[in-house]
Structure 1
Amino acid sequence: MDKSLDLSSFNKNDREKVLRKINKAEYEDTMNTYNSIVEMCFNECISSFRSKELDNNENNCILNCVKKFSVFSQRVGMKFTQNVNSEMQKKI
């Protein structure tokens, strides 16, 4: 959650409602991201159902897929932060 969010003008009940909605939105976003990763990596790495266990190739593919997504997400986050900081500097 954004720690800079100022809810001091809200009464306690409204503040709790806002925080619950924010927490719900964060949870839903996390679940959507998780489900997207599972679907993407499954589609990329699993081509047949020979066994209920993953074979070594499938397991390695899944690990690499998740790692790529993690690295990609970090890069996007860093770029987003750079852009926000750049915009903030322009306003100063």
Structure 2
Amino acid sequence: MTEFNNRIAAQREILRAVNSVRWSEELYGMSGGALDRWVRSNDLDQSSKLVRLLRDAAEKLFFLANKSQEQVTAEYRHRSSEVSGLTEEIRLELQQRS
């Protein structure tokens, strides 16, 4: 259960950081569809650093979601660490936009 809570907390942390900036529409989730809608609604470039970071984080969170029922492996810990790093990169990118 701890892995599930950590993944959800990581996702919430990313959403909180993104939504701390004023957008036409907030980001409501990390799914591909939610990201696509947010990018379109805010007229962002798909190839921008922020969008690429968010998609990378979403991919890693998806991996963690599919592994949360298994034993915590080295790969799981590695991906969790990557999500933490991406979260910090997202924060830095958002600060540059403000």
How high is the TM-score relative to the length of structure 1?
0.37
How high is the TM-score relative to the length of structure 2?
0.35
**Bigger CA radius of gyration:** 1
